[in-house]
């Protein structure tokens, strides 16, 4: 079955520090992968997506993600975190016409 695992429920980083959020997926074919961000009480905003081609994907707000087929991973990174990045981040894989989400990682930024 298709699944997405985000092993870290919470992550706390200092402002200005680098960030990596982990995502592993289980999918038989070439995956379509997404990262979304959700602020409290809000909907989801697309950060970036991977369908094919270059395995390093650039997104909005300075985020990037790297697709590694051998590791079934699609980790999200940002070189320098800002306080406004505090939110919940969801990794998702498209299965047919649907999205399957991971459990999410809550990012806390300390000053």
Q: Which residues bind another protein (CB under 8 A)?
A: 34, 36, 41-46, 49, 51, 90, 97-104
Q: Find the shortest distance in angstroms from Cβ 69 to another protein.
A: 18
Closer to another protein at the Cβ: 80 or 108?
108
Q: How far is CA 74 from CA 4, 16, 38, 41, 111, in A?
A: 10, 22, 18, 26, 28
Q: Find the shortest distance in angstroms from Cβ 50 to another protein.
A: 10
Q: Are 7 and 24 in contact (CB under 8 A)?
A: yes
HSE-up (13 A, CA, CB side) for residue 90: 17
CA distance 77 to 66: 8
- Residue 30 DSSP code: P
DSSP bridge pairs for 34: 49, 92
Q: Find the shortest distance in angstroms from Cβ 26 to another protein.
A: 15
Closer to another protein at the Cβ: 40 or 70?
40
Q: Find the shortest distance in angstroms from Cβ 51 to another protein.
A: 5
Closer to another protein at the Cβ: 11 or 15?
11
């Amino acid at each position: 079955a298709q699944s997405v695992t985000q092993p870290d429920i919470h992550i706390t980083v200092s402002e200005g520090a680098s960030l990596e959020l982990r995502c592993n997926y289980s999918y038989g074919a070439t995956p379509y992968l997404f990262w979304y961000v959700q602020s409290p009480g809000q909907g989801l905003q697309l950060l970036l997506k991977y369908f094919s081609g270059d395995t390093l994907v650039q997104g909005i707000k300075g985020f990037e993600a790297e697709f590694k087929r051998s590791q079934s991973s699609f980790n999200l990174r940002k070189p320098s975190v800002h306080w406004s990045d505090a939110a919940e981040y969801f990794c998702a894989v498209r299965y047919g016409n649907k999205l399957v989400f991971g459990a999410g990682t809550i990012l806390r930024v300390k000053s």
